[in-house]
Amino acid sequence: MPARTVPLAVIYDFDGTLAPGNMQDRQFIPDIGMTAADFWREVDALSDETHADRILSYMYVMLEKAKSAGRPVRREDLVAWSRDIGFFPGVESWFDRIDAYGLDKGVSIEHYVISSGNSEIIEGTSIAHRFQEIYASRFLYDADGIAVWPALAINFTTKTQYLFRINKGAHDLNDSSAINRYVPQSERPVPFQNMVYIGDGETDVPCFRLVKDLGGLSIAVYANGARERAERYREEGRVNCVVPADYSEGGELDNAVKSYVNLVAL
**Length of the chain, in residues:** 266
Supply the pTM of this predicted model. 0.95
Query: The domain that contains 141 carries what CATH number?
Result: 3.40.50.1000
Q: Are 45 and 147 found together in one domain?
A: no
> Is 195 in contact with 201 (CB distance < 8 Å)?
no
> Is 203 in contact with 156 (CB distance < 8 Å)?
yes
Residue 1 falls inside a structural domain:
no
Question: Tell me: the pLDDT tens digits for 159-177?
Answer: 999 999 999 999 999 888 8
Residue 93 falls inside a structural domain:
yes
Number of structural domains, the chain? 2
Question: Tell me: the pLDDT tens digits for 129-160?
Answer: 999 999 999 999 999 999 999 999 999 899 99
Q: Which residues contact 198 (CB under 8 A, 6 or more apart)?
A: 10, 11, 12, 13, 17, 219, 221, 253
Question: Tell me: the pLDDT tens digits for 44-88?
Answer: 999 999 999 999 999 999 999 999 999 999 999 999 989 889 999
For residue 186, the enclosing domain spans: 6-20+86-265
Please provide the distance, in angstroms rounded to a whole number, between the alpha carbons at the two ends of the chain: 14
Choosing from 42, 58, 80, the residue where a domain stops is 80
Residue 37 falls inside a structural domain:
yes
Q: Are 181 and 232 found together in one domain?
A: yes
Question: Tell me: the pLDDT tens digits for 83-134?
Answer: 889 999 999 999 999 999 999 999 999 999 999 999 999 999 999 999 999 9
Q: Cα 144 vs. chain centroid, distance in angstroms? A: 29
Least confident of 13-22, 74-83, 100-109, 193-202: 74-83
Beta strand pairing call for 6-12 and 107-118: parallel
